[in-house]
């Protein structure tokens, strides 16, 4: 504090000497001492009255700055932690994405081959069943055609025999035809 007062006193003294040297008049020692006394008294009074509010204000500002610094550091730390966590999650997702993509491709290929195999088996089974049904149907229609041919042959034979044969021959031929018909028909 005393250093500041001495510095101001020297500054004031040099200012006064500069004014005196420039020809504005001379200042007596008594005037100089009065000005120094007034200045020191004013400075001391201002210092006494304003010291506590200034110190308190500066202390509160310092506390606010420190508090803001702590808050900023905490926010910076939280942001860095969040960034690190997000970066870790992104790298894990990228790693999992590639693995999931490969797994999905593999599963799709497996599913495709399973479906292709199932379709081939189903078509083969349908073809076998169709051939089997075709065989049954062919045999059925062949039997129907045979029955119709036998009936037609029997009818024509009866008609022809009625015209050409006697009753005893007719009965014998009918019996033989009936027996043969029974043998052919299961």
* pLDDT tens-digit readout, 125-157: 988 888 888 888 888 888 888 888 888 877 877
What percent of the chain has a predicted confidence (pLDDT) above 90? Answer: 22
Residue 26 CA: distances (Å) to CA of 11, 13, 19, 41, 77: 18, 13, 8, 24, 67
Contact assessment for residue 16 and residue 30, using Cβ atoms and an 8 Å cutoff: no
Which residues, in sequence order, are CB contacts of 106 under 8 Å at separation 6+?
Answer: none
> Does residue 19 surpass a pLDDT of 60?
no
Calpha distance 181→161 (Å, rounded):
17
| The overall pTM is greater than 0.85 | no
Which residues, in sequence order, are CB contacts of 5 under 8 Å at separation 6+?
Answer: 40, 43
Calpha distance 25→31 (Å, rounded):
12
Calpha distance 34→41 (Å, rounded):
10
Kindly indicate the confidence band of residue 171, based on its pLDDT and cuts at 50, 70 and 90.
confident
Q: Give the total residue count for the chain.
A: 186
More confident residue, 61 or 148: 61
Kindly indicate the confidence band of residue 70, based on its pLDDT and cuts at 50, 70 and 90.
very high
> Does residue 74 surpass a pLDDT of 90?
yes
Provide the pLDDT for residue 37.
92
Highest mean pLDDT: which of 8-12, 77-81, 138-142? 77-81
Q: What is the DSSP letter of 164?
A: H
Provide the pLDDT for residue 143.
84
**Of 184, 107, 97, 183, residue with least CA distance to 142:** 184
């Amino acid at each position: 504090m005393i250093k500041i007062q001495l510095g101001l006193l020297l500054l004031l003294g040099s200012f006064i000497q500069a004014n005196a040297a420039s020809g504005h008049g001379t200042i007596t020692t008594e005037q100089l001492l009065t000005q120094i006394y007034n200045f020191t008294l004013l400075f001391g009074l201002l210092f006494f009255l304003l010291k506590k509010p200034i110190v308190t204000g500066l202390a509160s500002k310092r506390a606010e700055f420190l508090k803001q610094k702590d808050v900023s550091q905490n926010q910076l730390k939280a942001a860095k932690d969040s960034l690190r966590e997000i970066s870790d999650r992104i790298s894990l997702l990228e790693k999992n994405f590639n693995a999931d993509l490969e797994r999905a491709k593999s599963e799709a290929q497996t599913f495709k081959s399973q479906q292709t195999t199932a379709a081939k088996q189903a078509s083969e089974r349908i073809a076998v069943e169709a051939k089997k049904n075709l065989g049954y149907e062919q045999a059925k229609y062949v039997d129907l055609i045979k029955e119709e041919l036998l009936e037609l042959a029997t009818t024509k034979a009866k008609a022809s025999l009625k015209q050409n044969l006697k009753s005893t021959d007719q009965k014998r031929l009918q019996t033989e035809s009936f027996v043969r018909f029974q043998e052919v028909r299961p």
